[in-house]
């Protein structure tokens, strides 16, 4: 008996230490950091209005002096138009960044070497971002193309297969692994379904995934708030495989999947994905626990894009939350400004993708053109410092939405979000679906 007690004591100590170490790792920061601050608190300027940046090199929260610093300023993701150097002899440097004549974002990047270690940082400031207009255009047969695509998808029987996952269930929530046939025979969508145990009728939410090939977890946060949730993958891969399998696929046949068949709008990779999201909603609405009215979609990055696409294609959606959506204004790079992930027309990908048929295909999948069709109210959120999904690109999509919309900008965030963004958007989302 004493041995058993000792075993559990040691186990609890190890768990506590492990949690502590993990928590510390997530809070690791460089001892030396470059601070860059614009002279407008909201990081936002009108076109033609000058901006200045204040730069410091900090160590232990104390400004360093006499450390050579280099800076670059220019349009977001484009070549810098202004460069300079300073010895930082006063510990602070004010740099005039000029202005932008057209709506968009300007980047100020700084580099420094301290004790042989290189450091860098950057910030983006916006110039009339709510006036940014897209570079892409909507094809004349855009709506017809997607109506046909959905009709073809609907002909495939979904044949849902649900498998209880006892190890993931809680006393309040049953969790199932779900398989839905889609696109063609023996091709599937997989996901994890959460259904409240207590009898009743509930709103339903589709959680769409960010980019990558991975095992997407069940959406428990919203399930614990009294909602049916379905978290799906997009690659037709079960959500219960060993982790190594996803890594192998990501580095193998699914590497750069966002470029697959880009020269053919009928067979481009995301055609199956976009229609698959609607198929997932079809499944949710058949569940006996669904309240028959309140249907929502939520996601970030690629998931933000898919949330907007699904809302545009399916008028049953009552509310959408999209964080820093990808796939927005993809042709931006062809017009000398930042375009959305996966940056298919950026200089590094021009040789592969800068072709007429690929540019044409992109127009059928660009979130800008879906945004024009959104009718449901939405809450959108991002920061200015996103290197993956540039703010220039998602403002191009946000600005063409005619439906009721809210925007939460956490200016200094990158391709991640703060707890405040989650709290405010989720609170709004739940209210929309429980009115």
401, 130 contact by CB (below 8 A): no
Cα–Cα distance for residue pair 131/334, rounded to 1 Å: 19
Say if 12 falls within a structural domain: no
pLDDT over 60 (residue 24): no
Say if 14 falls within a structural domain: no
Residues 267 and 316 in one domain: yes
pLDDT band at 43 (very low <50, low <70, confident <90, very high): very high
Say if 7 falls within a structural domain: no
Q: Structural domain of residue 109, as residue ranges? A: 32-128
The string of pLDDT tens digits covering residues 73-90 is 999 999 999 999 999 999
Residues 110 and 231 in one domain: no
Say if 334 falls within a structural domain: yes
pLDDT recorded at residue 284: 98
Residues 324 and 418 in one domain: yes
| CA-wise closest residue to 275 among 208, 339, 219, 226 | 208
Q: Give the pLDDT mean for 91-101.
A: 97
Cα–Cα distance for residue pair 340/419, rounded to 1 Å: 24
| CA-wise closest residue to 114 among 87, 84, 78 | 87
Residues 106 and 158 in one domain: no
Structural domain count, the chain: 2
Residues 309 and 268 in one domain: yes
Cα–Cα distance for residue pair 316/292, rounded to 1 Å: 10
Among candidate residues 101, 128, 155, the one where a domain is terminated: 128
Say if 19 falls within a structural domain: no
The string of pLDDT tens digits covering residues 393-415 is 999 999 999 999 999 999 999 99
- As a dihedral over the C-alpha atoms of residue 342, residue 259, residue 327, residue 297, rounded to 10 degrees, the angle is -120
343, 311 contact by CB (below 8 A): no
Residues 80 and 188 in one domain: no
Range list of H helices, 288-355: 302-313, 350-353
Neighbours of 305 (CB within 10 A): 33
pLDDT recorded at residue 16: 39
Cα–Cα distance for residue pair 55/95, rounded to 1 Å: 8
Q: What are phi and psi of 5, to 5 degrees?
A: -60, -40
pLDDT recorded at residue 399: 98
Residues 242 and 388 in one domain: yes
**Vertex 306 angle, CA 302 and 312, to 5°:** 150
Residues 184 and 246 in one domain: yes
Residues 182 and 289 in one domain: yes
pLDDT over 50 (residue 305): yes
Q: Which residue among 329, 366, 386, 393 is the active-site one?
A: 386
Q: Give the pLDDT mean for 155-179.
A: 97
Percent with pLDDT over 90 in the chain: 92
pLDDT recorded at residue 435: 80
116-154 in b/e form (b: 16+ CB < 10 A) is eeebebbbbbbbbbeebebbbebbeebeeebeebbeebe
Cα–Cα distance for residue pair 140/136, rounded to 1 Å: 13
Residues 113 and 179 in one domain: no
pLDDT recorded at residue 28: 66
**Average pLDDT over all residues of the chain:** 93
Tokens coding 6: 């000792």
pLDDT over 80 (residue 19): no
pLDDT over 60 (residue 18): no
Query: Residue 26 belongs to what H/E stretch?
Result: helix 2-26
The string of pLDDT tens digits covering residues 328-337 is 999 999 999 9
Q: Which residue among 177, 182, 411, 415 is the active-site one?
A: 415
Do the strands 69-75 and 104-114 form a parallel or antiparallel pair, or are they unpaired? antiparallel
Percent with pLDDT over 70 in the chain: 94
pLDDT recorded at residue 30: 87
pLDDT-wise least confident of 17-21, 122-126, 372-376, 382-386: 17-21
Residues 115 and 150 in one domain: no
Say if 16 falls within a structural domain: no
| CA-wise closest residue to 119 among 24, 252, 30, 213 | 30
Q: Which residue among 301, 362, 381, 393 is the active-site one?
A: 301
Check which CATH number belongs to the domain holding 67 and give it. 2.60.40.1930
Say if 136 falls within a structural domain: no
> What SS3 state is found at 153?
helix
Residues 157 and 114 in one domain: no
pLDDT recorded at residue 22: 41
Check which CATH number belongs to the domain holding 209 and give it. 3.40.50.1820
pLDDT over 90 (residue 6): no
Among candidate residues 128, 152, 182, the one where a domain is terminated: 128
Cα–Cα distance for residue pair 67/112, rounded to 1 Å: 7
Task: Give the distance, in angstroms, between the CA of residue 195 and the centroid of all CA atoms in the same chain.
Answer: 25
pLDDT recorded at residue 13: 37
Known catalytic membership, residue 415 = yes
**Vertex 122 angle, CA 49 and 120, to 5°:** 150
Q: What are phi and psi of 221, to 5 degrees?
A: -60, -50
Q: Give the pLDDT mean for 282-308.
A: 98
Q: Could you tell me the pTM of the whole model?
A: 0.92
Say if 410 falls within a structural domain: yes
pLDDT over 60 (residue 196): yes
Cα–Cα distance for residue pair 58/35, rounded to 1 Å: 7
324, 386 contact by CB (below 8 A): yes
pLDDT recorded at residue 2: 45
């Amino acid at each position: 008996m004493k041995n058993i007690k000792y075993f559990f004591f040691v186990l609890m100590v190890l768990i506590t230490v492990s949690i502590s170490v993990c928590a510390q790792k997530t809070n690791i920061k460089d001892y030396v950091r470059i601070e860059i601050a614009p002279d407008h608190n909201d990081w936002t300027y009108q076109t033609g209005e000058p901006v200045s940046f204040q730069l410091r090199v900090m160590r232990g929260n104390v400004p360093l002096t006499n450390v050579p610093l280099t800076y670059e300023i220019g349009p977001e993701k484009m070549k810098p138009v202004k460069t300079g150097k300073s010895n930082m002899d006063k510990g602070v440097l004010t740099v005039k960044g000029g202005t932008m004549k057209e709506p968009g974002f300007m980047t100020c990047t700084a580099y420094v070497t301290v004790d042989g270690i290189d450091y860098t940082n950057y910030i983006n400031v916006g110039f009339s971002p709510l006036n940014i207009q897209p570079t892409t255009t909507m094809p004349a047969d855009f709506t017809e193309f997607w109506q046909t695509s959905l009709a073809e998808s609907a002909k495939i029987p979904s044949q849902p297969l649900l498998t209880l996952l006892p190890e993931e269930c809680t006393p309040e929530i049953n969790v199932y692994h779900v398989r839905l046939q889609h696109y063609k025979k023996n091709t599937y969508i997989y996901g994890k379904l959460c259904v409240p145990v207590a009898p009743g009728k509930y709103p339903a939410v589709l959680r769409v995934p960010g980019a990558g090939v991975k095992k997407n977890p069940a959406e428990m946060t919203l399930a614990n708030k009294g909602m049916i949730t379905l978290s799906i993958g997009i690659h037709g891969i079960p959500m219960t495989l060993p982790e190594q399998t996803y890594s192998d696929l990501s580095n193998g046949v699914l590497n750069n999947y966002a470029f697959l068949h880009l020269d053919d709008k009928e067979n481009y990779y995301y055609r199956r994905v976009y229609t698959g999201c609607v198929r997932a909603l079809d499944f949710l609405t058949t569940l006996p626990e669904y309240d028959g009215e309140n249907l929502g979609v939520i996601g970030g990055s690629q998931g933000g894009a898919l949330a907007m696409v699904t809302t545009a294609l399916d008028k049953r959606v009552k509310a959408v939350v999209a964080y820093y959506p990808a796939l927005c204004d993809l042709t931006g790079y062809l017009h000398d400004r930042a375009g959305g992930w996966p940056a298919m027309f950026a200089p590094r990908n021009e040789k592969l993708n800068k072709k007429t048929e690929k540019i044409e295909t992109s127009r059928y999948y660009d979130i800008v053109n879906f945004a024009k069709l959104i009718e449901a109210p939405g809450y959108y959120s991002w920061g200015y410092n996103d290197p993956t999904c540039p703010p220039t690109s998602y403002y191009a999509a946000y600005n063409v939405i005619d439906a009721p919309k809210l925007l939460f900008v956490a200016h200094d965030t990158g391709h991640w979000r703060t707890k405040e963004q989650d709290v405010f958007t989720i609170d709004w989302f739940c209210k929309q679906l429980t009115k």
